[in-house]
Amino acid sequence: MQWGQNPQHMGDVSVIGQRASRDLFELTYDPFVPQEQAESGGDLLAHYQAPLTDGNDVFMEFKTGTWIPCNPPGSGIPAPCGAAAWNSIIWGEKGYTSNRGQLVEQWSYQSDWKPEPSADGLDGWEPVFHAVVAGNYVYVPGFGGTIIQLNRTDGSVVARINPFDSRGIQTPNIFVAGPLATDASGNIYYNAIELDLSKGLPFTTDVLNAWLVKVTPSGQFTVSTFAFLTPGAPKSTDSCLGTFSPANLPWPPSPTAVPASAPCGSQRPPINAAPAIAPDGTIYTVSRAHFNPAYSYIVAVNPDLTPKWTASLRDRLHDGCGSPILPPNGTPGGCRAGANTGVDPSTNQPPAGQAIDLGSSTPVVTPDGSVLYGAFTRFNFARGHLFKFSANGDFLASFDFGWDITPAIYPHNGTYSVIVKDNHYDAGSYCDQSAFCPSAAGGPYNVTQLSADLQIEWSYQNTNTLSCARNANGTVSCTSDHPNGFEWCINAPAVDREGKVYATSEDGHLYVMRQGGQLDSALFLNLALGAAYTPLSIGPDGLIYTQNDGRLFVVGAERQPPGHR
């Protein structure tokens, strides 16, 4: 019914999921995928909504409008075109009824929501339009930081809720940032950002404001600014450390070197993160300095939107230079000889977790009340670290993993396990110059399950080497061209009540993995190289709703398994 299935975003369901045996139904929700891929050299840089399922109802985003191509693709001319003109697209929501996986459209609603501009910060990565189901309503993002309450039966508008202007005027530079979330009482939560668009440089000009918003089922709202919610964070004009110049590679330039500082910028949410709500009503969101994501925080908020605590993602890690994560100091890909042990080579400081706008990582509240967040860390071959904090804000553990994930939780036997994507990318270790940071080969590509204290329990490795494609006559042709396997293109996996894990890969397969890391089943949909990192959902009948290149697939067995209800 929302991102990560529930208010805690744990991704677990109480039913037995079906096997990945048959493609029962499919539809296109993003008709612009070929143009989007052409503009970005083949990659699909779009974030998509999780399919929302409740009973026989299914709700999914869709896109219409116009894509304005660049000529040639990727050139940026004639301006505005491509990602610079994505406001010409229209985002909306459709309601379907499912009959054993066959989706019948019931209604369609076109929203006036627009994403933040790509401009000088998003590099063509399209922000997510993400609805939420709460009781008898579907709420969708709207223009100017508003949300729109729809009747879930027919899609008719019940109300537009505008927390930012009592006259109902929509401010064009306020944006709903990230998925909407709901708690067990039907309250809606979301992040919003007011960008300065006057210079056409919204990510290198400080934000005007940023808020956490709470809306009750009756439409009453409360807002708190991120400045109020992050009292210990640096202010807009405070100085934050940057990174060393590429002219001084290998990094760090010396054991005592300090990079230059610059204004931090105001605290605000990353573009695609949803708030999480614990059973006790505590709201968790993420904040970052507008100009420097290395100053990021997990923010705990009381139900009345007053600050509870703020925990920095800095000074927690010690696995940089000289650690097993990097090649030895003084060797290709390693830090400069003599570097301090454990530091990030780009800063000579303890590595910092970053809440970046190109990802979609969202906080997860675990069954024991702890909080997980998957942050980006460039120094470890562009992977990331999963951070764990207690309900009081104490740092508990971290795990070096393959970035951009909202981890799934498998509760079992009085404890729980944590499921993450664990890609090893074909990137340079900590910089982009091959003379100092030659690219790794890529792989292994794992889905990894961790214990509650973030120790590895098992991993399933993608060892498929075949790139396959469907032919016009229905046959499949394959070429062995990926000796190290394929990336997992998932940003929110799902887990059923038996602990089976559901995830998608760039090889175009939907995979189902049993506990212990054994393959249960897999189904080829369509090759998805450079695919968007996407979520999937398990419906109340165990059907799997997954995505591939702008298409929604309903997958299941030929007949429903026993015990699914």
| 267-292 tens-digit pLDDT | 999 999 999 999 999 999 999 999 99
What is the band of 108 on the pLDDT scale with cuts at 50, 70, 90? very high
Percentage helix, strand, coil, to 5, in the chain?
5, 40, 55
Helix (H) or strand (E) holding 149, with range, is strand 147-151
CB 66 within 8 A of CB 75: no
Taking the C-alpha atoms of residue 352 and residue 245, their distance in angstroms, rounded to an integer, is: 18
Per-residue pLDDT tens over the stretch 433-463: 999 999 999 999 999 999 999 999 999 999 9
Statement: residue 564 has pLDDT above 80: no
- Flag whether 266 is in a domain: yes
Statement: residue 129 has pLDDT above 80: yes
Q: Is the peptide bond before 7 cis (omega within 30 degrees of 0)?
A: no
Q: What is 39-86 written as a DSSP string?
A: HTTT---B--PPPEEETTEEEEEEEEE-----SSTTS--SSS-GGGGG
The β-bridge relationship of strands 490-492 and 534-535 is parallel
The SS3 of residue 517 is coil
Per-residue pLDDT tens over the stretch 36-90: 999 999 999 999 999 999 999 999 999 999 999 999 999 999 999 999 999 999 9
- DSSP class of residue 245 equals -
Q: CA torsion, points 423, 429, 431, 437, in degrees to nearest 10?
A: -130
pLDDT on residue 325: 95
- Flag whether 19 is in a domain: no
Please state whether 74 falls in left (phi above 0), alpha (psi between -120 and 50) or beta.
left
Mean pLDDT of the chain, nearest integer: 96
CB 481 within 8 A of CB 527: no
Taking the C-alpha atoms of residue 556 and residue 67, their distance in angstroms, rounded to an integer, is: 34
Beta bridge partners of 285: 299
Per-residue pLDDT tens over the stretch 228-245: 999 999 999 999 999 999
Statement: residue 306 has pLDDT above 90: yes
Q: Tell me, what CATH number does 32's domain have?
A: 2.130.10.10
- Flag whether 379 is in a domain: yes
By residue range, what is the domain housing residue 125? 24-556
pLDDT on residue 558: 62
CB 10 within 8 A of CB 418: no
- Flag whether 13 is in a domain: no
Taking the C-alpha atoms of residue 254 and residue 565, their distance in angstroms, rounded to an integer, is: 62
- Flag whether 565 is in a domain: no
Counting the structural domains of the chain, the total is 1
Per-residue pLDDT tens over the stretch 193-207: 999 999 999 999 999
Helix (H) or strand (E) holding 384, with range, is strand 383-389
What are the two backbone dihedrals, phi and then psi, of residue 385, each rounded to the nearest 5 degrees? -135, 135
- Flag whether 6 is in a domain: no
Question: What mean pLDDT comes out for the span 522-550?
Answer: 95
- Who's near 125: CB < 8 A, 6+ residues apart? 45, 46, 47, 118, 357, 358
Statement: residue 559 has pLDDT above 90: no
pLDDT on residue 168: 82
- Flag whether 564 is in a domain: no
One-letter identity of residue 137: Y
What is the band of 167 on the pLDDT scale with cuts at 50, 70, 90? confident
Per-residue pLDDT tens over the stretch 313-356: 999 999 999 999 999 999 999 999 999 999 999 999 999 999 99
